[in-house]
Amino acid sequence: QKEVEQDPGPLSVPEGAIVSLNCTYSNSAFQYFMWYRQYSRKGPELLMYTYSSGNKEDGRFTAQVDKSSKYISLFIRDSQPSDSATYLCAMVNEGNQFYFGTGTSLTVIP
């Protein structure tokens, strides 16, 4: 079983839709949770960072962590064509080791 599971998609939504991206994990020792956005032929860029259960909001983006279910989500409100990218979840354990999901490809259609 992989440490981090992420549905690769692809996901295609109309402009303005609410997008939900998800990852599950198996290791309860993960302490930090991140979402990265990667545009085509570019390196990943950090989007959201959280270390506790609950919600964290940043503009149109909300990161949600449920440690009891070992489940994290990224919600994008009022999605825009510029949100079209691959989104990777990442988690860090107590030994500061990073584990990445394989990424979900998102296309927002104008």
Partner 1 sequence: DVKVTQSSRYLVKRTGEKVFLECVQDMDHENMFWYRQDPGLGLRLIYFSYDVKMKEKGDIPEGYSVSREKKERFSLILESASTNQTSMYLCASDRIGLEQYFGPGTRLTVT
Give the integer Cα–Cα distance in Å for 76 and 100. Answer: 20
Give the integer Cα–Cα distance in Å for 88 and 95. Answer: 21
Q: How many residues bind partner 1 (CB under 8 A)?
A: 20
State the DSSP string of 72-84: EEEEESS--GGG-
Q: How far is the CB of 80 from partner 1 (least distance, A)?
A: 23
Candidates 22, 24, 73, 102: give the one binding partner 1 (CB under 8 A). 102
11 makes contact with partner 1 (CB under 8 A): no
Contact indicator for 44, 38 with CB cutoff of 8 Å = yes
Residue showing tokens 């990073």: 98
61 makes contact with partner 1 (CB under 8 A): no
87 makes contact with partner 1 (CB under 8 A): no
88 makes contact with partner 1 (CB under 8 A): yes
Structure tokens at 81: 């064509």
Interface ranges with partner 1 (CB under 8 A): 8, 32, 34, 36, 41-46, 49, 88, 90, 92, 96, 98, 100-103
